[in-house]
Structure 1
Amino acid sequence: MRAPYASDPAHARGRRVPEEESTFRSCYQRDRDRIIHASAFRRLKHKTQVFVEHEGDYYRTRLTHSIEVTQVARTISGALGLNAELTEAVALAHDLGHTPFGHTGEDALHAAMAPYGGFDHNAQAIKIVTSLERHYAEFDGLNLTWDTLEGIAKHNGPVTGDLPYALSEYDALHDLELHTHASAEAQVAALSDDIAYNNHDLHDGLRAGLFTDEEIIALPLVGPAFAEVDLRYPDTDSYRRRHEALRRVFGVMVADVIDTSRANLESSKATSAHDIRHLGRTVIMFSEQMWRDLQEIRAFLFSRMYRAPSVMVKRAEVTKIVEDLFPMFLENPDLLPRHWAKQIEEAAQDQTTLARMVCDYIAGMTDRFAYAEHARLTGIAAR
């Protein structure tokens, strides 16, 4: 049964370009389906999560990460009586704006774009679903509902101060009320992101040999999970032992969010999605103890995985690729896709507009395409 504060498709805020709605799919389901069929969603298959996509077949990519986030989000949303279809749409779209090479690529592109308004992957996701996807005859983008766009823009909380240009430009056309919190469904997507990466980064780091089972057993949540597995399955092999332990860590995080958030929602006295947006605080949360435990796990991952020597070597390599490609395309816009010719001609007299076109092009690249373009244009093959 849906809770009174859940988002109701019958009262959705509509689409920027009015459309006749489906007779057999809710508007949120339709949003979710459009995201799944988007070109940008498919490209996530070959975009870095932590390890560059070609480094191994078993490591998470942005696509597998997004699917895992969505699975967690649907579970939490269902347990709290929220709208699972809206939650799924926001979760599936939350990383659409990521560059090749993960946060390393984002940092490099942000630095290159500093004179032209910078770069932000959340704002880029909005640009993709409102403009850059161009498959429909009646509109650019996916023409998603206001509710889904709001969730993509501010699932991490209100967006205030100096807005990223890509978000500011769209908000001027279609007010997303960036000063308020997002729906509970979008908040669930944000916490599900935290749950997914804290768990799967431990798993990927172990597979990569960056740390051992014995080292992570010292971490909160992880140690008790291994102890439970050892007690219940004393003779299991090391691979199954690791998987059983980490899936228990996953379950503990999910249960904590459900219990904490259910109490927050009940105490909020909210009776509508509008009430949730205007509470002035987040309602989907970890408990204080869980948050402290996750900060300790995050600190471990930062030092032993995200800043591991082998990862730092790769970070330097892919940073150089973005640093080389950006000025190359900016100075030679004829290298951009031919079907952009008209836009390039119109942007020729405006360096900022041209730079933002180059930014869109590089941000949309997969890891392997960025490598290939760099090798083609510089003659320097990847190692």
Structure 2
Amino acid sequence: MIRDLRVQCQDENTSLAPYAVKNSESQGRVYPEEQHPFRTDFQRDRDRILHSKAFRRLEHKTQVFLSGSGDHMRTRLTHTIEVAAISRTMARSLYLNEDLAETISLAHDLGHTPFGHAGERALNKIMASHGGFDHNLQALRIVDHLEIKYPSYDGINLTWEVRAGLVKHREAGKTKLNGKILPLHQSLEAQIADLADDLTYYGHDLDDGFDSGLISSEMLKGMAVWERAVERVKETGLAEAGAERFESYAIRCLIDNMVRDAICYSDKLLTEQNPANSGIVRELDRKLISFSPEYEKETLELRDFLYKNLYFHPKLERLNGMSLSRMSALFEAYTRNPEEMGNSAIKRIETDGLYRAAADYIAGMTDVFAQKEFTRICGLLI
């Protein structure tokens, strides 16, 4: 007996909530394709992302700390895998489409630059008078145009639902997809991927901060979201097990607490609103996947702590300054001498313009390649 596409679609229709996105409801692809006998459209999208060059490059793009900072520091790839795992848990718990939530999660960081958060800020500053740079819109640009896999069109021809899920709320009302402005809110599965991204980096950047020695658990004392996690650690008897074991388990509890809160509060919102289908979800004036108000306040407090004590730590600020100078040097070199870019970037100058082609080329680099290019071309600026 084979669990083919027909059986899987039947299972979706009977097991998922009415407001979940089903494969049979998909708005399809820009370039129509025959359906696969054993995989849904969202499963195929997931596999296309996993096999893309942009996804493989995430292994060598860092999250906060630059390459070489430590063997255990997170990369964009490890972060992406962690977000996808949490998204599946949340979607499964709420009777939503796990495949769609996972696929959006796997693609959400494809547009990130080299050199972590600092790299994006630098490229956005450089591109300020040329349309700016946003990693979410760049992810959409990658899957629609820059990734080359098929003989008759650019991009990897993902479904509308996955592509729409890559656009954040602040960009949705002014971003067109298939010629139409996107609604402010996307599917519940996209909302899950968005929230999972936030709570994952809250916890895991904290973990990397501990490993780096830039922050300590002592600095978090009195912070509500941290104290909740500490209480769970104490219940296990691990409170006196040593700093490393204590901090590691506390972060595990912190993330789990946030996931539990998001699932329970989202279920409350869904029960109250009870949207009849996935289309109505996009028409609502608010998100239905959310932390409770209490946890929302507490997680924002943690975010503010990370910005103050980690992301803008003097040690990282020096690295941030280096990132800006490197990105600026690369951009100046490529716009002055376009032939220094790769062939695909050179070909796009005619259709996309020199500045956007240069930004695409730089954004696609890994930390290591960007550093090598900086070393190679810095002589051009003398």
**TM-score of the pair, normalised by structure 1:** 0.91
Give unpaired runs (5+ residues) of structure 1.
none
The answer to whether 1:307 aligns with 2:312 is: yes
Give the distance between the partners of 1:148 and 1:287, measured in 2 at CA: 26
Give the aligned residue type for 1:72.
I
Counterpart of 1:355? 355
Listed as ranges, the gaps of 5+ residues in structure 2 are 1-14
CA RMSD of aligned residues (A): 1.7
What amino acid is aligned across from residue 26 of structure 2 in structure 1?
A: A
Q: Check if 1:21 corresponds to 2:32.
A: no
The alignment status of 1:277 with 2:282, answered yes or no, reads yes
Q: In the alignment, residue 231 of structure 2 is paired with which amino acid?
A: A
> CA 1:355 to 1:48, structure 2 compared with 1: closer, same or farther past 3 Å?
same
Structure 2 counterpart of 1:142: 156
Q: Give yes or no for contact 2:23–2:42 (8 Å, CA) kept in 1.
A: yes
Residue 64 (str. 1) matches residue 78 (str. 2): yes
Cα distance change of structure 1 residues 202 and 361 upon mapping to structure 2, 3 Å threshold:
same
Q: What is the CA-CA distance between 1:128 and the residue it aligns to?
A: 0.2
Instruction: Supply the AA of the counterpart residue of 1:40.
Output: A
Task: Show the 5 A alignment for 1:80-119.
Answer: 80-119=94-133
2:328 is equivalent to residue 328 of structure 1:
no
**% identical aligned pairs:** 41
The alpha-carbon deviation at position 138 of structure 1 amounts to: 3.0
Residue type matched to 1:282 in 2? K
Matched residues in 2 for 1:333 and 1:210: separation? 40
Deviations 1:271-319 (A, max 9, x none): 1100111112111011010011111111111111011111001000111
Q: Contact (CA 8 Å) 1:146, 1:176: kept in 2 or not?
A: no
Given that 2:345 and 2:358 are in contact with CA atoms closer than 8 Å, whether structure 1 keeps it comes out as: no
Alpha-carbon distance between aligned partners in 1 of 2:180 and 2:34, rounded to the nearest angstrom: 22
Q: Is the 8 A contact 1:100 1:370 kept in 2?
A: yes
Indicate conservation of the 8 Å contact 1:6/1:184, yes or no: yes
> Is residue 346–residue 357 contact of structure 2 (8 Å, CA) maintained in 1?
no
List structure 1 runs of 4+ shifted beyond 6 angstroms: none
Which digits, 9 at most, give the CA deviation of each residue in 1:58-103, with x for residues without a partner? 1111111111111111100100000000001111111111111122
Alpha carbons 1:122, 1:152 under 8 Å: kept? yes
1:228 aligned residue: 232
Aligned residue type for 2:251: L
- Report the TM-score when normalising by structure 2: 0.91
- 1:375 is the counterpart of 2:375: yes
The yes-or-no answer on 1:121 pairing with 2:135 is: yes
Alpha-carbon distance in 2 for matches of 1:158, 1:378: 35
Residue 157 (structure 1) shift: 5.8
Return the offset for 1:218: 2.8
Cα distance, 1:158 vs. partner?
A: 6.1
Partner-residue secondary structure (3-state), 1:314 = helix
Aligned residues: 365
C-alpha separation in 2, matches of 1:83 and 1:228 = 31
Residue in structure 2 matched with residue 183 of structure 1 by the alignment: 187
Is residue 337 of structure 1 aligned with residue 351 of structure 2? Answer: no
- Residue 359 of structure 1: how far off its partner (Å): 0.8
Residue 159 in 1 paired to residue 172 in 2? yes
